[in-house]
Each structure stands twice: as structure tokens, then as C-alpha cells.
């Protein structure tokens, strides 16, 4: 008997190797709760898609066990796992109408014609394509085809839907629109979604939790706000959002704070997240929107002289590149307010930030 609060999916010590030597996935232990939207995020070759393919049944695990609703599925054929799938290339049958594409997974499950028609209509209405059932995929736009692919994955009421880079072929505006649509469908149905992408803004927008992969290992598993605000290592800090990285040597550690002597000059007081002792190397993580140009005296423990190298107008903010501590790629996001109209390239300014906004992390180069 599986309790309602037990994980729907479990990866237990799962490893994957294609050649018997190099591990693409290294001892993965991951629980996915019922009803959650979990995104596997990482660069190409990080192991995220391989994990999805093992869960779908398209790739066998080299070692370890995968369970679905408490039952091992390592030896269960893909079509018997009852999992919905959405691919980047849509994978629709071109010779079938939209309605026939949606009916197909119901027909192979032996559903009656009346029930099939009712479920197809409901699924098409859900993705706002109620009047498109008679068309063929080739007569639809890319965004409409992707909606059909999402509807087909959901039409047979699966407990779990897997999405592999499903929006990668769409243009930016349509991709952002589809992100919200998929998020709202997930919220209304309560289905469990495991989503794979390399797009960090997409992951932040849609997910309950994000598993950041690199080199076959989950570097951090957390909610979007925790990943962005509290990265646990330098890889996550660099991969999620824009980040100023300053390298240096640990000068001292005092409880939750530490002092880092930055390469290029200057000592920074930062949160000691995971740094070694004095003399060891460290990486400082600082978000551009947390840096203040010309802060009030005494408001920041970290204040340095800088020179404005470049100003880029981006509507709601001005992306300001400043030379600080010998680094000419230090970025400050300055809110677009009248008080900053005097910023000009070549100006000398003060830049400051608090200890709490600057995280000292393990070195990652």
C-alpha cells in the first residue's frame, strides 16, 4: 500500500553509463512528490535528459532502481508505465487529424468511442484548440502543434508527465507564453510534471523545485527563489541568473562571515557559505541588482571605487558595467529612475553591497 504523501517517483542510487566506463549519471538519489513540477536543469551533457529517458523507459539504468508509485519500473516497458510524454519535435502523427492524434493513446488503452470523444474534446478545450480537431498537424503553427502535444500527453489522465525541452523550437515570445500556459495547466490538474531544460529562466518561471545538474550530479535541489538567492556552490551561482564572480583568498573566517582578499585588490566581507580556512581560494557570488551605485555613507560594509565602462539601456533598468577591483566585467543593474540619469561612461563612482548579499563559495573555475 502506497501512502498519499509518499513520493510518486524515486531514483535510488541510479547510475548510467553508455560505454561501461564513463558515468553520465552518478549515484542519483531523488524523490519527486505527487503533484509537483520538478525541473531538471543543466548544460548539455550534464545528465538531465538521460535521467528523463531512464524514467520514461527509453534508456535502461546501469545501476540502481527507479520506482513509480512505490513499484520498481526498471524492467517495465515504456508503453506500460502509463507516463505522458512531450518532446521538442512534437512527435505528432502527420497523417492523422488533431483529434485522431489525441484519440490514439485512448484507443490503444481500449477506451470506448463515446468516452474517447469526450476526453479528446476536454483536452482540446484545455489547450484552447477546441475548434482545431479536424485539422492536421501540418496546418497548425508551431505553438499550436506544441499545444496538441501537451494535450495528447494529458488526455489519458496520467499520474506523471515528462517534458523534454518542449519549447526549444519556439520563438522567444511564444515560448514565454507557453511557459505560463503549461504552468497554469499543471496548477489546474495537479498532475506531476518532470521537465527538462537548459534554459534557467524557463526553470525559474515554471517549477516548484529545480534540480541543477552538472557532470552527472545534482549540484543543488531547491525552490527557484532558494536557488537564486542562496546558491550552495559557485557552479549554481553562475548557472542560475546573472552573477558577479570575484575570486580571491580567504583572509579570515568568523562564524557566518568571512573576509576575502580579492584578486586585483580589496578585501570583501561576505557570508561564509562553504569556504575552507585562511589562505584557501574562494569564489564570491554577488547579484547585479544587489549592488548599489554611490551608496549612503555607512549603509554598506563593502564599498569600492569604480569606473563606469559601459551603459546599456534596457527599459526597466540600466545595465551598468563597472571596473571594480581590477575587474572590468563587474555588472550593476541600476533601476531606471531619474536619480541615475547623471551616470555616464567614464564616470568615477562608488559601488557598495551588504555582507548578506555576497556569498563566499567553493572555487569553481
Question: Same structural domain for residues 310 and 225?
Answer: no
Q: pLDDT-based confidence at 183, cuts 50/70/90?
A: very high
> How many structural domains are present in the chain?
2
Average pLDDT, integer, range 187-201: 93
Domain span at 330? 235-361
Question: Same structural domain for residues 76 and 113?
Answer: yes
Average pLDDT, integer, range 287-292: 94
233-258 tens-digit pLDDT: 999 999 998 999 999 999 999 989 99
Give the pLDDT confidence score for residue 3 in this predicted structure. 60
Average pLDDT, integer, range 213-236: 95
Question: Same structural domain for residues 51 and 180?
Answer: yes
Mean pLDDT, all residues of the chain: 91
Whether 3 is covered by a domain: the verdict is no
Residue-by-residue DSSP string for 24-40? EEEEEEEEE-TT-EEEE
pLDDT over 60 (residue 339): no
Question: Same structural domain for residues 172 and 61?
Answer: yes
Whether 1 is covered by a domain: the verdict is no
Question: Same structural domain for residues 227 and 246?
Answer: no
Question: Same structural domain for residues 78 and 214?
Answer: yes
> What are the b/e assignments for 201-230, b being 16+ CB within 10 Å?
ebbbebbebbbbbbebbbbbbbebeebbeb
Q: In sequence order, which residues have a C-beta less than 8 Å from that of residue 151 and are 6 or more positions away?
A: 102, 123, 124, 126, 127, 129
pLDDT over 70 (residue 338): no
Q: pLDDT-based confidence at 1, cuts 50/70/90?
A: very low
> Domain end: 234, 257, 272, which one?
234
Question: In a 3-state reduction of DSSP, which class is residue 66?
Answer: strand
> Domain end: 207, 234, 261, which one?
234
Question: Same structural domain for residues 27 and 151?
Answer: yes
The rounded distance, in Å, linking the Cα atoms of 8 and 33 is: 5
Whether 41 is covered by a domain: the verdict is yes
Q: What CATH number has the domain bearing residue 143?
A: 3.40.50.300
> Domain end: 209, 234, 259, which one?
234
101-138 tens-digit pLDDT: 999 989 888 889 999 999 999 999 988 888 999 999 99
Whether 294 is covered by a domain: the verdict is yes
Question: Same structural domain for residues 87 and 107?
Answer: yes
- Its pTM stands at 0.90
The rounded distance, in Å, linking the Cα atoms of 339 and 139 is: 52
Q: What CATH number has the domain bearing residue 350?
A: 2.40.50.100
The rounded distance, in Å, linking the Cα atoms of 97 and 113 is: 16
Question: Same structural domain for residues 208 and 262?
Answer: no
Question: Same structural domain for residues 43 and 175?
Answer: yes
Question: Same structural domain for residues 90 and 157?
Answer: yes
Closest of 57, 52, 51, 50 to residue 72, by C-alpha: 57
Whether 331 is covered by a domain: the verdict is yes
Question: Same structural domain for residues 65 and 27?
Answer: yes
Question: In a 3-state reduction of DSSP, which class is residue 363?
Answer: coil
Give the pLDDT confidence score for residue 332 in this predicted structure. 95
Whether 4 is covered by a domain: the verdict is no
Whether 57 is covered by a domain: the verdict is yes
Beta strand residue intervals within the chain, DSSP E? 9-17, 23-32, 37-41, 63-68, 71-72, 83-86, 160-164, 192-197, 209-214, 217-222, 244-254, 257-262, 267-272, 281-286, 292-293, 302-313, 317-324, 327-335, 348-353, 358-361
The neighbouring-strand residues paired with 360 are 272, 284
Average pLDDT, integer, range 332-346: 79
For the chain, give the percent of residues with pLDDT over 70.
97
Give the pLDDT confidence score for residue 169 in this predicted structure. 77
Amino acid at each position: 500500500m502506497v501512502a498519499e504523501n509518499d513520493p510518486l517517483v524515486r531514483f535510488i542510487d541510479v547510475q548510467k553509463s553508455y560505454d561501461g566506463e564513463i558515468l553520465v549519471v552518478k549515484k542519483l538519489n531523488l524523490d519527486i512528490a505527487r503533484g509537483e513540477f520538478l525541473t531538471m536543469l543543466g548544460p548539455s551533457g550534464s545528465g538531465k535528459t538521460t535521467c528523463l529517458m531512464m524514467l520514461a523507459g527509453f534508456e535502461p539504468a546501469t545501476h540502481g532502481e527507479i520506482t513509480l508509485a512505490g513499484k520498481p519500473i526498471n524492467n517495465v516497458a515504456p508503453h506500460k508505465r502509463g507516463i505522458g510524454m512531450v518532446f521538442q519535435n512534437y512527435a505528432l502523427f502527420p497523417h492523422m487529424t488533431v483529434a485522431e492524434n489525441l484519440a490514439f493513446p485512448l484507443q490503444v488503452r481500449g477506451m470506448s468511442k463515446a468516452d474517447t470523444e469526450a476526453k479528446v474534446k476536454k483536452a482540446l478545450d484545455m489547450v484552447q484548440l477546441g475548434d482545431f480537431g479536424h485539422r492536421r498537424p501540418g496546418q497548425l503553427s508551431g505553438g499550436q502543434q506544441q499545444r496538441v502535444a501537451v494535450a495528447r500527453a494529458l488526455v489519458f489522465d496520467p499520474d506523471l508527465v515528462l517534458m523534454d525541452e518542449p519549447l526549444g523550437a519556439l520563438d522567444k515570445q511564444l515560448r514565454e507564453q507557453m511557459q505560463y500556459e503549461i504552468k497554469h495547466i499543471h496548477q489546474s490538474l495537479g498532475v506531476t510534471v518532470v521537465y527538462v531544460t537548459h534554459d534557467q529562466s524557463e526553470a525559474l518561471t515554471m517549477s516548484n523545485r529545480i534540480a541543477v545538474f552538472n557532470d552527472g550530479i545534482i549540484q543543488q535541489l531547491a525552490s527557484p527563489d532558494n536557488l537564486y538567492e542562496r546558491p550552495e556552490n559557485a557552479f549554481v551561482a553562475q548557472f542560475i541568473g546573472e552573477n558577479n564572480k570575484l575570486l580571491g583568498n580567504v583572509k579570515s573566517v568568523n562564524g557566518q562571515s568571512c573576509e576575502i582578499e580579492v584578486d586585483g585588490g580589496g578585501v570583501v566581507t561576505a557570508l561564509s557559505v562553504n569556504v575552507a580556512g585562511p589562505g584557501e581560494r574562494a569564489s564570491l557570488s554577488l547579484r547585479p541588482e544587489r549592488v548599489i551605485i554611490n551608496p549612503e555613507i555607512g549603509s554598506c560594509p563593502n564599498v569600492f571605487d569604480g569606473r563606469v565602462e559601459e551603459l546599456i539601456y534596457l527599459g526597466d533598468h540600466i545595465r551598468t558595467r563597472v571596473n571594480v577591483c581590477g575587474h572590468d566585467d563587474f555588472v550593476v543593474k541600476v533601476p531606471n529612475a531619474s536619480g541615475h540619469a547623471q551616470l555616464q561612461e567614464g564616470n568615477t563612482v562608488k559601488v557598495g553591497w551588504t555582507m548578506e548579499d555576497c556569498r563566499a563559495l567553493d572555487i569553481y573555475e
